Amino acid sequence: MVVSDARRVLASAEVVIDLDALVANYRRIVAEAVASGAGVAAMVKADGYGLGAVQVGRALLTAGCRVFFVANVAEGSELRSALRVERVGPETVSEPTILVLNGCHPGTEADLLAHDLVPVLNSLDQIDRWSRVAPPGVRLRSALHVDTGMHRLGLMRSEFERLLTERERLGQLTVELLMSHLASADERASAQNPTQRRLFERFATQFAEVLAGEGVPAARSLANSSGLFLGADYHFDLLRPGYCLYGGNPTPDRPNPMQPVVTLEAPIVQVRSVESGDSVGYGATYTATTPRLLATLAVGYADGFLRSSSGRGVVFVAGHRAPIVGRISMDLVTIDVTEVPERWLWLGAPVQLIGPNRPVDAVATDAGTIGYELLVDLGRRYSRRYAPVCGAD
């Protein structure tokens, strides 16, 4: 086997994040939103779905995104530091809004205030806690999450109805957003979708009536990545795409309307021949029935390439399909390259695990999971390369 790129062999596998494609996906969603009059926020929780919240956030900010969602205060403070807006001259430029989905928990109040983070309040207890730290004469920015059927976070119906009769609880707050979350948006035919939409519409109407005359009404938000493709009835005032921004398919029953963002490649570190009857990997789960040519890749489940793909997944060598054989181990994957031309099998040759030939959703199906998990599991051992944003202004 020819050594063509020894440096690549010594390096880890590489994740390439195409920021131009990310921005294109954001702009495609903005175009969808324009027709219904909605704005577009960006979900950058879980370190930007595993792709780097700082780099992703900066690219989206440059593209015009002004509202971001994170899971917790730690994520929010890191993002705030990364997205500080540079001011040129005397013009006043507002900082982007960063909302914290987990809300206001004991001990987080000071950090929420210090980093200008907006908590998404999920209970009456959180509402009261956030209200208590409001400085005299100041109404703190906030969002409210109402539960319409997910039964995970958000005010329960009884809590919401109580809030409507105890509006003084909101006396120290400015509620900028009323939101809920769809549980089955990726199943277009699910009856849960219109049920949740109707309940959210009712909650939003009731909330607007109770707070009428107190300034600008709260914006409404229901649609996540899949929800925004359910139609304009689900758009309301603010869309909250996440997975689809990063190239995942928000419409599993149809072709993916989004551009791929992630490419994962691993180098070949060894090529060997095996005879009929030879087994491969831990537990000898694969046995060759004819003479085969195998290649070993420098990647494994320690990198987030899931062990559950063992014996099921496929990769591509210079566009040629190669199945995974045997068990995926911590640091290595073995593939069958018998059908790959020898000229592509040099030491350090890049092998595509995720990319144009094998989209993230297909790789996730091989692993028996969803693309969301695959993205956020991308390990820290990968070297990462970000394609520059072109024409983002």
List, by residue number, the catalytic residues. 45, 282
Burial class (CB in 10 A: 0-12, 13-18, 19+), 298: buried
Q: Residue type for 103, please?
A: G
SS (H, E, C) the chain: CCECCHHHHHCCCEEEEEHHHHHHHHHHHHHHHHHHCCEECEECHHHHHCCCHHHHHHHHHHCCCCEEEECCHHHHHHHHHHCCCCCCCCCCCCCCEEEECCCCCCCCHHHHHHCCCEEEECCHHHHHHHHHCCCCCCCEEEEEEECCCCCCCCECHHHHHHHHHCHHHHCCEEEEEEECCCCCCCCCCCCHHHHHHHHHHHHHHHHHHHCCCCCCCCEEECCCCCHHHCCHHHCCCEECCCHHHHCCCCCCCCCCCCCCCEEEEEEEEEEEEECCCCEECHHHCEECCCCEEEEEECCCHHHCCCHHHCCCCEEEECCEEEEECCCCCCCCEEEECCCCCHHHCCECCEEEEEECCECHHHHHHHHCCCHHHHHHCCCCCCEEEEECCCCCC
**Pairing assessment for the beta strands 292-297 and 262-274 based on DSSP bridges:** antiparallel
Quickly tell me which residue has 């005397």 as its tokens. Answer: 90
Query: How many other C-beta atoms can be found within 10 angstroms of the C-beta atom of residue 367?
Result: 20
Whether 142 and 176 have beta carbons less than 8 Å apart is answered as yes
